[in-house]
A and B are shown apart, each in its own frame.
Chain A
Amino acid sequence: MKDKLNNALDWLKEKKVDYADARFVRIESEAIRVTDGIVDTLTKDVNVGVGIRVLYNGAWGFAAVASVKEADIKKTANKALQTARASATTVKEKAKLAEVKAYKDHYKSPCEKDPFSIPVDDKVGLLMELSDRLRSDSKIKTAEASADFYKTNKVFCSTEGAAIEQDIIESGAGYTATSYDGKEVQKRSYPNSHRGDFATRGYEFIEEMKLLDNVDRTREEAIQLLTADDCPDAETDIIICGSQMALQVHESCGHPSELDRVLGTEISLAGGSFMQIDGLNKLKYGSDIVNIFADATIPGALGSFGYDDEGVKAQRAPIIQNGLHVGYLTSRETAPIIGQTSNGTMRADGWNRLPLIRMTNINLEPGEWKLEDLIADTRDGIFFDMNKVWSIDDKRLNFQFGVECAWEIKSGKLGRMFKNPLYTGMTPKFWNSCDAICNRNYWHIWGVPNCGKGEPMQTARVAHGAAPARFRKVKVGVSK
Chain B
Amino acid sequence: MIGKEKLFELFEKVAKSSKADETEIVYIGSNFGLTRFANSIIHQNVNEANCKILFRTILGKKIGVASTNSLSYADLKATLSNSIEIAKYQKDNKHFPGLPGPEKYAEINTYFESTAAYSPKDRARQVKKIFIRANKRKFLTAGAFATGDGEIAVFNTKGVSCYQTVTNASVNIIAMSGTSSGYSVGLSRKVEDIDAVALADIAVEKAYLGKRPKPLEAGDYEVILEPAAVAALIEWVNYIGFGSKAYIDKTSFLSDNIGKKVMADPVTIYDDGLDQSAISMPFDFEGVPKKKVYFIEKGIGKGVVFDRITGNREGVPSTGHGLTASDHGQGAIPLNIFIETGNKSLAEMIASVKRGVLVTRFHYINGFIDTPKLVLTGMTRDGTYLIEDGQIKHGVKNLRFTDSMLRAFSTVKGISPERQLIPSWWDSVGCIAAPAFHLGAFKFTGTTDF
Contact = CB atoms under 8 A, between A and B. Distances in A.
Contacts of A474: none
A268 B174 contact: yes
Contacts of A266: 38
Nearest to A397: B448
Given A47-B69, A271-B363, A60 B43 contact: yes
A128 interface: yes
Interface string B41-72: 11111111111000000000001111111100
Interface in B141-200: 142-144, 146, 172, 174, 176
Given A46-B68, A91-B42, A354-B44, 19 more contacts: A40-B328, A43-B86, A44-B83, A45-B67, A45-B326, A66-B49, A76-B49, A83-B47, A92-B41, A178-B249, A265-B142, A268-B172, A271-B381, A388-B369, A389-B366, A398-B379, A398-B447, A400-B446, A479-B402
Contact of B124 (A66, A80, A90): A90
Contacts of B63: 42
Contacts of B89: 42, 120-121, 124
A83 B45 contact: yes
Top 3 nearest A-B pairs (CB, nearest first) are A398-B448, A41-B329, A267-B142
Contact of A395 (B43, B325, B371, B448): B448
A41 B404 CA distance: 32
Interface of B: 32-51, 63-70, 75, 79, 82-83, 86, 89-91, 93-95, 119-121, 123-124, 127-128, 131, 140, 142-144, 146, 172, 174, 176, 248-251, 309, 325-329, 363-366, 368-372, 375, 377-379, 381, 398, 400, 402, 404, 426-428, 445-450
A86 B42 contact: yes
A29 to B, nearest CB: 9
A420 B124 contact: no
Nearest to B33: A83
B90 A42 contact: yes
B359 to A, nearest CB: 14
A371 interface: no
B325 A43 contact: yes
B440 to A, nearest CB: 18
6 contacts: A62-B46, A86-B45, A264-B39, A393-B363, A394-B379, A395-B449
Interface stretch (A12-20, A196-204, A319-327, A451-459): A451-459
A343 B426 CA distance: 28
A63 interface: yes
Contacts of A41: 65, 326-329
B329 A40 contact: yes
A426 interface: yes
A35 B327 CA distance: 13
Contacts, number: 262
A395 B364 CA distance: 11
Interface in A382-419: 388-395, 397-398, 400, 402
Contacts of A265: 38-39, 43-44, 142
B48 A90 contact: no
Given A43-B67, A86-B121, A264 B325 contact: no
Contact of A64 (B46, B93, B120, B446): B46
A406 to B, nearest CB: 13
A87 interface: yes
Contacts of A35: 329
Contacts of B79: 46
A44 B86 contact: yes
A39 interface: yes
B64 to A, nearest CB: 7
A388 B251 CA distance: 14
Contacts of B70: 46, 48, 66-67
Contacts of B46: 62-64, 83, 353-354, 456
A38 B86 contact: no
Nearest to A40: B329
A66 B51 contact: yes
A42 B65 contact: yes
B49 A64 contact: yes
Contacts of B363: 271, 393-394
A86 B369 contact: no
Interface string A74-87: 00100110111011
A143 to B, nearest CB: 10
A102 interface: no
A35 B45 CA distance: 41
Nearest to A180: B250
Nearest to A402: B369
Contacts of A479: 369-370, 375, 402
A352 interface: yes
Interface of A: 31, 33, 35, 37-49, 59-67, 76, 79-80, 82-84, 86-87, 89-92, 120-121, 124, 128, 141-142, 178, 180, 184-185, 263-269, 271, 274, 352-354, 388-395, 397-398, 400, 402, 420, 422, 424, 426, 452, 455-457, 478-480
B47 A80 contact: yes
Contact of A268 (B36, B66, B375): B36
B84 to A, nearest CB: 11
Contact of B364 (A60, A76, A91, A392): A392
Nearest to B252: A185
A178 B251 CA distance: 9
Contact of B426 (A60, A120, A271, A457): A457
Contacts of B448: 393, 395, 397-398, 426
Nearest to B181: A267
Nearest to A182: B256
A74 B429 CA distance: 30
Contacts of A42: 63-65, 86, 89-90
B364 A393 contact: yes
B400 A38 contact: no
Contacts of A267: 38, 142, 174, 176
Contacts of A178: 249-251
Contacts of A80: 47
Contacts of A455: 34, 36, 44, 144, 146
A358 B45 CA distance: 18
Given A398-B446, A398-B447, A38 B93 contact: yes
A452 B379 contact: no
A141 B69 contact: no
B80 to A, nearest CB: 12
B124 A86 contact: yes
Contact of B67 (A40, A44, A63, A92): A44
Contacts of B364: 390-394
Contacts of A49: 50, 69
A424 B379 CA distance: 12
B90 to A, nearest CB: 5
A391 B368 CA distance: 11
Contact of B400 (A40, A120, A398): A398
A31 B67 CA distance: 12
Given A388-B369, A478-B402, A91 B38 contact: no
Nearest to A455: B144
B50 A64 contact: yes
B365 to A, nearest CB: 7
A39 B400 contact: no
B67 A38 contact: no
Contacts of B428: 456-457
A44 B64 CA distance: 9
A128 B91 contact: yes
A89 B377 contact: no
A61 B120 contact: yes
A79 B120 CA distance: 9
Contacts of B366: 389-391, 402
A64 B44 CA distance: 14
A422 B369 contact: yes
Q: Give the residue among A38, A60, A120, A263 with the most B Cβ atoms within 10 A.
A: A38
A141 B43 CA distance: 48
A178 to B, nearest CB: 6
Contacts of B95: 38
